[in-house]
C-alpha cells in the first residue's frame, strides 16, 4: 500500500502520479483504456469538482475517464473528444497513439492524452459567424478549424463526411474572401 505526499493511500497506484505543479495534463492509457499514469494536473482536471481521494478506486477513476473523454462512453472505439469542460474551464484534448498493436505487457501505454486549458472558442466563432453571416454548421466547422483539427477529425466531431467538411470550408472561404484554411483562422482572429 503506497501513499502520496499528503498520506492518502492508493494501493498499487504509487507510480500513477507525476510531480506537483504541471500545467499540462498528461494521461497514459494502457490496453482497454486502463489508466497507467496521470500527472497531478490531469487528475485535478478529470476529477473536478470531486477530490482525488474520492475517485481513487480504480473502477471510479476508469468510469470518470470514460465519461469525460470518450465521444460515446459506452463505446471505447468511438474515439476521444477534442475538447471538454471541467467546471468553468475549457480544455483541449489531444490523443496520441503510441502502439498500433496489442502490447505484450499489460503495463505498456497505448494512448497518451494531453489536456491544455483553452479559452472557449465559441465567442470568436459566434462573432465571426455574425460578421460573415455563417450558418450554424459553418460556425461549427470554423470552431474546429480554429482548434487545428483535420477535415477527418472535424467530420468525426460533426457526424458528417470529410467531403461535406470540404464543402463547408469552401463556403466559409467564399464568405470570408480568403483562399486557404490558414487564412480562415487568421481572418477569424483579426475579426
Domain shared by 89 and 144, yes or no = no
Both 21 and 75 in one domain: the answer is yes
Task: Report the pLDDT value the prediction gives residue 102, as an integer from 0 to 100.
Answer: 65
Strands 35-38 and 83-86: unpaired
In a domain, 2, yes or no: no
SS3 category, 10: coil
Residues 18 and 106 in one domain: yes
Burial class (CB within 10 angstroms; exposed 0-12, middle 13-18, buried 19+) of 84: middle
* pLDDT at 188 exceeding the cut of 90: no
- Both 27 and 109 in one domain: the answer is yes
3 occurs within a structural domain: no
Question: Which pLDDT score is estimated for 120?
Answer: 60
Paired with 86 in beta bridges are: 89
pLDDT tens digits, 123-171: 566 778 888 999 999 999 998 898 888 999 999 999 999 999 999 999 9
* pLDDT tens by residue, 103-123: 666 678 889 999 988 766 555
In tens, the pLDDT along 36-88 reads: 998 989 888 888 888 777 777 667 788 888 888 888 888 878 788 888 888 88
Query: Are residues 31 and 68 located together in one domain of the fold?
Result: yes
Does residue 22 surpass a pLDDT of 80?
A: no
> Do residues 85 and 131 share a domain?
no
CATH (domain of 157): 1.10.10.10
* Residue 5 domain-assigned (yes or no): no
Is 133 part of a structural domain of the chain? yes
The predicted structure's pLDDT at residue 23: 73
Residue 8 within a domain:
no
| pLDDT for 13 | 36
Domain boundary among 82, 103, 118: 118
Q: Is residue 1 part of a domain?
A: no
Full domain range(s) for residue 145: 122-190
Give the Cα separation of 30 and 108 in Å (integer).
6
CATH number of the domain residue 94 falls in: 3.30.450
Count of domains observed in the chain: 2
**Final residue belonging to a domain, choices 66, 86, 118:** 118
Residue 9 lies in a domain: no
Confidence of residue 15 (pLDDT cuts 50, 70, 90): very low
Rounded Cα gap, residues 157 and 108, in angstroms? 28
Do 88 and 172 belong together in one domain?
no
Residue found by looking up cell 470550408 in the block: 169
pLDDT of amino acid 61: 81
Amino acid at each position: 500500500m503506497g501513499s502520496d505526499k499528503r498520506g492518502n493511500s492508493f494501493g498499487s497506484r504509487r507510480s500513477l502520479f507525476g510531480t506537483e505543479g504541471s500545467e499540462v495534463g498528461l494521461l497514459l492509457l494502457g490496453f482497454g483504456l486502463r489508466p497507467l499514469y496521470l500527472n497531478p494536473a490531469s487528475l485535478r482536471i478529470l476529477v473536478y469538482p470531486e477530490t482525488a481521494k474520492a475517485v481513487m478506486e480504480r473502477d471510479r477513476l476508469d468510469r470518470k475517464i470514460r465519461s469525460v473523454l470518450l465521444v460515446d462512453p459506452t463505446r471505447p472505439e468511438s474515439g476521444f473528444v477534442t475538447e471538454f469542460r471541467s467546471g468553468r474551464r475549457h480544455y483541449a484534448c489531444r490523443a496520441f497513439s503510441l502502439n498500433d498493436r496489442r502490447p505484450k505487457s499489460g503495463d505498456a501505454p497505448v494512448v497518451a492524452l494531453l489536456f491544455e486549458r483553452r479559452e472557449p472558442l465559441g465567442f470568436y466563432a459566434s462573432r465571426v459567424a455574425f460578421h460573415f453571416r455563417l450558418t450554424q454548421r459553418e460556425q461549427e466547422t470554423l470552431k474546429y478549424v480554429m482548434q487545428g483539427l483535420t477535415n477527418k477529425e472535424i467530420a468525426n466531431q460533426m457526424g458528417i463526411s470529410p467531403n461535406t467538411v470540404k464543402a463547408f470550408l469552401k463556403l466559409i472561404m467564399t464568405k470570408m474572401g480568403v483562399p486557404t484554411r490558414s487564412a480562415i483562422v487568421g481572418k477569424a482572429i483579426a475579426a
